Every structure is written in C-alpha cells, then in structure tokens.
C-alpha cells in the first residue's frame, strides 16, 4: 500500500523556499551521493565496527536498496526501521531514500505492541529490525505478530544472531549486486521520513517530513551551529531513530557531508570515552545524559568542541554552566519537537540574569521556521510555527491535523510564549504539561525550574499523581548531587525562599540514584509515577 499524504503547507510556499535556495530541492540520497563523489575517502560513520568512508558506505547503500527492491519495496512504500545506532541504521535509512520509499525509524527497546501500532497505522510494507537488542528479540517478536499486520509483506532481521524463521536475513539484502541499481528521483517535496513523537497522545504520534523539510529546514538549523567551513563531526548519544536523531543521516550526512560518531547504547563512561577517542565537533544529547556524564570521574581536560546540543528538555542554568566548563564549549538548549517547531540561542550564551518573563529561547530563524504568538493580547499566547522544516502532516490521524494544524499550515505547539522587544522567543510554559490540583493548573516546567535551583538537586522531573480529593497532587522526583541528602520539608523551604507560591509546592518527594529512561533517552515519567507510593487522600 502506497501511503497518500497531504502536505498542509501551501505548495506555493514550498516552491518559494526551493526557488530562493532555502531548501536544496534535491532528495536525500542525491544529496548524499554528491558528497560521496566530492570526497569519497571522507569518513562517514564511526561505530563499534570501526570507520566507514563515504565511498564504501555508498556501495552498501546501493546493495541494500537493490535488495529491498527485489523484495518488492516500491517508491512511496513505508519501511519500518528498528535498529540501534550504527552503520546498519544509516545504510537502511539511505537505502530507503534511494528507492523513493518512506523511512519510519523507531528506537530499539520498544516492545511489539508499539511496533504493531506504528507499522499498522502507517501501512508499512516492510520492516528492518534488530534480531536482538539487549535481551529483546525484536525480529522474533515482530514475526510472531505479523498476522496482525496484513500490509506488512517482509520482516528483515539485522544482527549477528540467526534470524528467526519467517524473516529475511539483512546480510542477504546487503549481498545483492548494487552496481546496476538506478536510484529513484522522488519529488523533494514528497515524504522521505516519518518521525515518531512520544507527545501526550494515547499512541505515539507519527509526523511526515519531506526531503526538503529535513535537508532544508532541519539542515539550516544545524548550519547555524557549524562554526567553520569544516563538515561537522557529530556524536549522537540520542537514537538516530528518534525525532532528535533525524538530524543524523538526513542532516549531518546528506546535507552537510559530515561524520556520524555512534554508540549502540548510551553509558556515561562510554560517551566520555567516545569524546576523547573520536574528538567530535558536536555532541547531541538530552540533559539527563549530560548530568550523568558530569557525575563521572574525569582526569584531565576533554578535547574542545564547537557545541553541546541538547533537546527534549531544558538544562538548568547551574548545570549548563558546569557542562560548558567541563566540555569546553557552548551549551545549546534546543526548543523543538517532531511536530514542527525549532528555536535556540545559537553559539552565543544567553546571560543567566536576563530580565523578563519565562525562559529566553533565542531568535527564530525563518530559514528554519517562522514563529508567531497566537493571542488576542499583546502578551502571552500559544506558540505557532511554519517554515521550511514544517512537516507535511500527521500520519493516520486526521484528528491531530485538525487539532494542531491551521488552514494555512501553521503548527500549534500547545506551548505558551511571547516575542520580546529584541525579537527573541520566550517560553513561558508548556500548556500540555500541567497538574490540575483542586481546580488550579500548576505548570510542571515552572516547578521543575524552581526545584533545580536547590543546591542539592542534580536533576528533577515533576509528575502528577491521582488523588481522590484534589484530583491530582504534585510529586517531585529528584536525583541528588553526590553527598547531598534531600527531604520534602527542606525542599519546600527552599521553594518558599525562592518565591514559589505554596500551592505549587510538591506534596510528594521521590529520591532516586538515576532516572529510568525511555528508549529515546528522556526521563520516563510513567515509570517514575509508578515508583511513587499510592497517595493517601486527605
């Protein structure tokens, strides 16, 4: 089944961004191929298996594309990809692009139920999955439930283990003769990739991006963080299969001709070793990873980098300053999402004492996405965005298009913000992350920012817990700094001194050595909520 997707951004705008050079107007494989021809011996991927240069990567990509074509993958087909960070994930991504098909990557570590949901709702015709990842037999699990996916024709198992019965071996796909392969030339404004967003919906949201939106809009975002003429060398600690990880193959390689440094899973010690051994120019991570790395013993200075690029959540000011000193580079906090918004402070750091409401995000870049405030007043309002990186639409969810997209193609973020006199976006609150306590809305972000100023707090996540009387009560889950003890009374006294209204104080405190993480590397709020004791009603 070929997936039919409507682009909710007016076609005249898409063409204008291509005509003025904002978007490259080429498909992802064509962009990658240009870098392969210009510098075939440049290193494209560094992973556990060693280095792979552009020329050799391209040979594997063409072989994989030819093998997938023999298995019946056609232009416009959706191909699921559930692989750990490494060369196979990159090869699969580029091979799907070379076929003019649509990649649907999702992180390893997620169970068969989520795979069935994503593959079924997207109408995927094939899936390339890990035979085994850290004890999870992804290929076997998918084969076992394949009967629930009538559109899925082929399961391809990648890994060193024997593939399960009913699956095709990825090695056989890679062994296909790709020298006679002729790549497709899809419309650059057609779908190239479906990003999976955890969001707040019952099921993960799927968002369709075109070649131009990825290489153009998201590529322009990365361009603002490249300090010189040298191609970037990016250590991705986040999964390439996550929304943040879409800045890997499509942006770092295809758009900018850079190098991907990849670990198949994150550990603080492994990440620090990769920085020392491979000297990346950029590290892309979520704040929890950086906090864990800062708590590791270090001997001597780390090699200087261009930027530490963080997404998924804000890094508190004290830890950002500590990270900037430790990693000898600016810390860039990215405000963005798979849904289609992007803004950041760039390589210049915003002063911590910047006056005004909310958190200063940075100057919106129209070559990435224009940002406006949808409000009847001149102050706060909902942040809406539209620009070259704006996705086409939600996949298999017309109700989400109706809820989050305007008739002119703007994306409604559900976040509250304002544009100040300097033209900077200020994030005032995330409207979707609130606890309703006795009818009063409490912003989790506001409380987390206040708790993070306590000298004994390394990391904080706030969650709501059900309560028979108040509806919800607020719980603070914290990772303490080494050598600090924390209790709720002391924490609330600090919050009072910091000026936080008492109605916004946490009523439960959970202290843990480290947060459980989702497969995308973010703190797992559901798991933390399950660790809290059942609250007693008043």
For 24-50, write each residue's pLDDT tens digit: 999 999 999 999 999 999 999 999 999
pLDDT of residue 349: 63
For 517-535, write each residue's pLDDT tens digit: 887 778 888 899 999 876 5
- In this structure, are residues 212 and 189 in contact, taking their beta carbons and an 8 Å threshold? yes
Q: How far apart are CA 130 and CA 456, in angstroms?
A: 40
- Check if 225-338 and 434-531 are the same fold: no
- In this structure, are residues 313 and 338 in contact, taking their beta carbons and an 8 Å threshold? no
Strand partners, 53: 43
Q: Which CATH number fits domain 434-531: 3.90.180.10, 3.20.20.10, 3.30.300.30, 3.90.1150.10?
A: 3.30.300.30
Q: How far apart are CA 383 and CA 356, in angstroms?
A: 17
Q: How far apart are CA 158 and CA 386, in angstroms?
A: 38
345: region left, alpha or beta (phi > 0 left; psi from -120 to 50 alpha): alpha
139-161: buried (b, 16+ CB within 10 Å) or exposed (e) per residue?
A: bbbbbeebeebeebbbbbbbbee
Strand arrangement of the beta sheet that strand 126-130 belongs to: 168-169, 154-158, 126-130, 78-82, 102-105, 191-197, 205-210, 393-394
In terms of Cα–Cα distance, which of 337, 33, 290 is closest to 185? 33
Helix (H) or strand (E) holding 492: helix 488-497
Q: How far apart are CA 211 and CA 277, in angstroms?
A: 33
- In this structure, are residues 83 and 138 in contact, taking their beta carbons and an 8 Å threshold? no
pLDDT of residue 480: 94
Which fold would CATH assign to domain 225-338?
Rossmann fold (3.40.50)
Q: Please, which pLDDT band fits residue 538 given cuts at 50, 70 and 90?
A: very low
Q: Which CATH number fits domain 28-40+51-186: 3.30.230.10, 3.40.50.980, 3.40.50.2300, 2.40.50.140?
A: 3.40.50.980
- 438 pLDDT higher than 70: no
Domain ranges, ordered by start, for the chain: 28-40+51-186, 225-338, 434-531
Average pLDDT of 426-446? 75
CA 184 vs CA 86, 404, 483, 498: distances in Å: 25, 33, 59, 59
Cα dihedral angle (46, 207, 218, 380), rounded to 10 degrees?
-130
pLDDT of residue 534: 64
pLDDT of residue 60: 98
**pTM of the predicted structure, to 2 decimals:** 0.86
- 314 pLDDT higher than 90: no
In terms of Cα–Cα distance, which of 465, 461, 434 is closest to 517? 461
For 398-421, write each residue's pLDDT tens digit: 999 999 999 999 999 988 899 998
Q: How far apart are CA 345 and CA 364, in angstroms?
A: 9
Kindly tell me the burial class for residue 89, based on how many C-beta atoms sit within 10 Å of its own C-beta (0-12, 13-18, 19 or more). buried
- Rg of the chain's alpha carbons, rounded to an integer? 23
- In this structure, are residues 523 and 444 in contact, taking their beta carbons and an 8 Å threshold? no
In terms of Cα–Cα distance, which of 391, 41, 15, 408 is closest to 213? 391
DSSP state of 250: I
Q: Percentage of the chain with pLDDT > 90?
A: 72
Q: How far apart are CA 268 and CA 273, in angstroms?
A: 9
- 350 pLDDT higher than 60: no
Q: Please, which pLDDT band fits residue 379 given cuts at 50, 70 and 90?
A: confident
């Amino acid at each position: 089944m070929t997936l039919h997707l409507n682009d909710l951004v007016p076609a005249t705008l898409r063409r204008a961004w291509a005509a003025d050079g904002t978007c490259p107007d080429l498909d992802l494989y064509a962009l990658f191929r240009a870098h392969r021809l210009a510098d075939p011996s440049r290193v494209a991927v560094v992973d556990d298996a060693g280095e792979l240069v552009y020329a050799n990567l391209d040979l594997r990509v063409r072989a994989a594309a030819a093998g997938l074509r023999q298995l019946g993958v056609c232009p416009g087909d959706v191909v699921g990809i559930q692989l750990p960070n490494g060369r196979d994930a990159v090869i699969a991504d580029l091979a799907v692009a070379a076929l003019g098909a649509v990649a649907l990557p999702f992180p390893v570590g997620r169970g068969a139920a989520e795979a069935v949901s994503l593959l079924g709702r997207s109408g995927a015709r094939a899936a390339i999955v890990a035979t085994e990842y850290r004890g999870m037999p992804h290929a076997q699990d998918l084969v076992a439930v394949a009967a629930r996916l009538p559109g899925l024709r082929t399961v391809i198992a990648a890994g060193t283990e024997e593939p399960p019965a009913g699956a095709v071996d990825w090695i056989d796909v890679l062994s296909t003769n790709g020298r006679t392969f002729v790549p497709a030339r899809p419309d650059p404004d057609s779908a190239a990739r479906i990003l999976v967003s955890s969001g707040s919906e019952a099921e993960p949201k799927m968002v369709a991006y075109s070649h131009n939106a990825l290489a153009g809009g998201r590529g322009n975002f990365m361009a603002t963080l490249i300090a010189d003429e040298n191609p970037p060398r990016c250590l991705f600690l986040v999964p390439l299969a996550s929304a943040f990880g879409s800045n890997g193959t499509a942006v770092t390689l295809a758009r900018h001709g850079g190098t991907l440094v990849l670990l198949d899973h994150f550990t603080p010690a492994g990440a620090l070793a990769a920085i020392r051994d491979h000297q990346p120019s950029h590290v892309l991570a979520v704040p929890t990873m950086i906090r864990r790395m800062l708590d590791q013993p270090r001997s001597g200075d780390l090699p200087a980098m261009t930027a530490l690029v963080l997404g998924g959540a804000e890094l508190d000011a004290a830890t950002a300053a500590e990270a900037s000193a430790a990693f000898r580079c600016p810390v860039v906090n990215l405000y963005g999402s798979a849904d289609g918004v992007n803004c950041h402070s760039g390589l210049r750091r915003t002063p911590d004492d910047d006056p005004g409401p909310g958190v200063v995000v940075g100057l919106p870049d129209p070559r990435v996405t224009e940002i406006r405030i949808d409000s009847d007043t001149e102050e706060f309002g909902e942040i809406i965005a539209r620009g070259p990186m704006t996705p086409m639409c939600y996949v298999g969810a017309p109700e989400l298009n109706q809820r989050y997209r305007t008739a002119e193609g703007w994306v409604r973020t559900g976040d509250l913000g304002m544009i100040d006199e300097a033209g900077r976006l200020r994030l005032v609150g995330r409207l979707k992350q609130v606890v309703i306590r006795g009818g009063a809305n409490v912003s989790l972000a506001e409380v987390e920012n206040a708790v993070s100023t306590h000298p004994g707090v390394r990391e904080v996540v706030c969650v709501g817990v059900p309560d028979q009387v108040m509806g919800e009560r607020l719980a603070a889950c914290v990772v303490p700094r080494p050598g600090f003890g924390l209790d709720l009374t002391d924490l609330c006294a600090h919050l009072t001194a910091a000026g936080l209204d008492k109605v916004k104080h946490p009523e439960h405190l959970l202290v843990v050595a480290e947060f459980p993480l989702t497969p995308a590397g973010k703190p797992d709020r559901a798991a933390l909520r399950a660790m809290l004791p059942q609250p007693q009603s008043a």
